[in-house]
Amino acid sequence: MSSYIEEFESKVKPKDYYDRLYDELVRLNPRLNAFNALIKPDKNGIPLSVKDNICVKGIEATASSKILKGYIPPFNATVVERVLKTKRFSIIGKTNMDEFGFGSFGINCEKPAKNPLDEERVAGGSSSGAAIATALLKYHVAIAESTGGSISAPAAFCGVVGFTPTYSVISRYGLIDYANSLDKIGFMARSADDIRVMLDITKGKDNRDSTSTDSKIVGLHHKKLVIIDELIDKVDEKIRSQFFEFVEKLKNLGYTVKNINLNEIDLSIPAYYLIAMAEASTNLAKFTGFKYGFKLNDFSKNYNEFFAEAREEFGTEAKRRVILGTFIRSASVKDKYYSKSLIIRKELIDKLSKVLKDAFLISPTMPIMPPKISEANSMSPVQNYATDILTIPPNLCGLPHISFPYSYSNGLPLSAQIVGSQFNDYGVISFVSEWEKNFEYKFKYNIGEI
Ligand code: GLN
């Protein structure tokens, strides 16, 4: 399949198409918790879902946090505005996620997201709902967001294509920030060609986001693939052996594969979490119960009591990040943790840039298969963070990457991730496009088939 978007546009839709789609999703949603809000489209267009930390004018945006309940943005995020301007899309809902993006499994929220391929298992996070919606709907694209792997991880666990652009390529205006120097808006779809359509529409400078750029994005299709041994070592044995079978197939398709060592890559998890938490703690400071969403109206209490009560609304992981992030930024330890993390990030960017000059990086997307929700719930924070080892390096370095299924095991997808050099966004997309000519994805659901 090349483009589901084009196929959808070429078909005559029954009159009640959107009503039936809406009814089906209303029926399924309480089981899977994919959407925080479902919307019946009032115009014709490709069904589009938007992660709940991205603002759509007039529709509640909560980032799956109780503290934002009732917040109705009076404006569209730039990415939403650009997509709607084409008049080719219809928003069908806001998708569930880990609160503010804090998580890898979609369980740090009021209603844990379930994997549609095995409902006892996690869907991956934090863009859980975006991946579930893509796995359910035949014709649909999702606007999602990644800080440290939130597009790749759920895309991998739900068996869809997930693309995260080079940092700065898509405007962040209208995103409820997690960590500003790491956040990237991207997409999920059922084919690489659909991702390309979305990037064409949304890329480029936006005066409302000073970090956005007009740098020329390129599409270099390298035939050289690089595997970092330190990363592969962290992957479960079964996934590793299947991945190497996939690599053999790629060799038969004309790719060359080189293994390298990069010791510093092990520092990417601590560096990422230190930077991400430091930035998150400042971003959450604005949620005080005064201005956005959830409001306390009892002003009889003193200042400290008032704020303590309002901020009780944060979930456990959000509280952990406020406390750790504030500590990391404090004067006495700042140089030891925060500044050092920035140095590590810079070193990794330099090293990876050299490697990626004439190659793509390849690895499995996740080191484990989707755990059962009960298993994920009993992981310690450190065990949980460690599962991000393959998705954090490109995110920390702001490099374009894409996750896609390459095989299946007991009905669950096995997914790989391709990383490109800065601004080679079309290159990683074209790699997956090529792969799709040799491999057919299996989708359990095809809701909205015409
Ligand atoms: N799991 C990572 C975290 O919790 C990444 C999540 C994300 O990309 N939003 O920070």
Ligand 1: residue of 65, 151, 178, 275 to mutate (most ligand atoms within 8 A of CB) is 178
60: amino acid identity, one letter: E
Q: Token digits for 334? A: 């700042």
CA distances from 353 to 109, 332, 400 (A): 36, 33, 12
> 260 near 229, Cβ under 8 Å?
yes
Ligand 1: residue of 53, 102, 366 to mutate (most ligand atoms within 8 A of CB) is 102
Q: Is 126 in the pocket of ligand 1 (CB under 6 A)?
A: yes
Paired with 162 in beta bridges are 188, 403
In the reported structure, the alpha carbon of residue 435 is separated from the centroid of ligand 1 by a whole-number distance in angstroms of 27
Given 3.90.1300.10, 3.40.50.300, 3.40.50.720, 1.10.3720.10, which CATH number is that of 4-228+361-436?
Answer: 3.90.1300.10
Q: Is 101 in the pocket of ligand 1 (CB under 6 A)?
A: yes
DSSP strand pairing (401-409 vs 161-164): antiparallel
> From the alpha carbon of 391, which atom of ligand 1 is closest?
5
350-359: string of b/e by CB count within 10 Å (b at 16+)? ebbeebbeeb
Paired with 418 in beta bridges are 362, 402
Ligand 1: residue of 388, 389, 403 to mutate (most ligand atoms within 8 A of CB) is 388
pLDDT tens-digit series, residues 193-242: 999 999 999 999 999 999 999 888 999 999 999 999 999 999 999 999 99
Q: Is 106 in the pocket of ligand 1 (CB under 6 A)?
A: no
Q: Is 52 in the pocket of ligand 1 (CB under 6 A)?
A: no
- Number of helices (H), then strands (E), belonging to the chain: the values are 17, 13
In the reported structure, the alpha carbon of residue 19 is separated from the centroid of ligand 1 by a whole-number distance in angstroms of 35
* Interhelix angle 268-283/316-329, nearest 10 degrees: 100
Distance CA 206, CA 172 (A): 9
Ligand 1: residue of 95, 109, 126 to mutate (most ligand atoms within 8 A of CB) is 126
In the reported structure, the alpha carbon of residue 277 is separated from the centroid of ligand 1 by a whole-number distance in angstroms of 10
Q: Token digits for 21? A: 């789609």
**Cα dihedral across residues 167, 79, 314, 99: positive or negative:** negative
Name residues of the chain where pLDDT drops below 50: none
Q: Is 64 in the pocket of ligand 1 (CB under 6 A)?
A: no
Q: Is 103 in the pocket of ligand 1 (CB under 6 A)?
A: yes
**Alpha carbon nearest to ligand 1 atom 5, residue:** 148
Distance CA 62, CA 80 (A): 16
> In sequence order, what are the residues at sequence separation of 6 or more whose Cβ sits closer than 8 angstroms to the Cβ of residue 231?
265, 363, 389, 390, 393
Distance CA 165, CA 184 (A): 7
In the reported structure, the alpha carbon of residue 151 is separated from the centroid of ligand 1 by a whole-number distance in angstroms of 9
Q: Token digits for 178? A: 């997690």
Q: Is 279 in the pocket of ligand 1 (CB under 6 A)?
A: no
Nearest to 425 by CA among 216, 213, 207: 216
**Alpha carbon nearest to ligand 1 atom 10, residue:** 102
In the reported structure, the alpha carbon of residue 330 is separated from the centroid of ligand 1 by a whole-number distance in angstroms of 23
> From the alpha carbon of 151, which atom of ligand 1 is closest?
8
Question: What pLDDT, on the 0 to 100 scale, is given for residue 1?
Answer: 57
418: amino acid identity, one letter: I
Q: Is 268 in the pocket of ligand 1 (CB under 6 A)?
A: no
> From the alpha carbon of 385, which atom of ligand 1 is closest?
1
Paired with 51 in beta bridges are 95
Q: Is 435 in the pocket of ligand 1 (CB under 6 A)?
A: no
In the reported structure, the alpha carbon of residue 147 is separated from the centroid of ligand 1 by a whole-number distance in angstroms of 6
Question: What pLDDT, on the 0 to 100 scale, is given for residue 2?
Answer: 84
Question: What pLDDT, on the 0 to 100 scale, is given for residue 62?
Answer: 97
In the reported structure, the alpha carbon of residue 102 is separated from the centroid of ligand 1 by a whole-number distance in angstroms of 5
**Cα dihedral across residues 124, 390, 227, 423: positive or negative:** positive
In the reported structure, the alpha carbon of residue 270 is separated from the centroid of ligand 1 by a whole-number distance in angstroms of 13
- So which residues are the catalytic ones? 51, 126, 150
Locate the domains of the chain by residue range: 4-228+361-436, 264-346
Task: Look up residue 337 and give its DSSP letter.
Answer: I
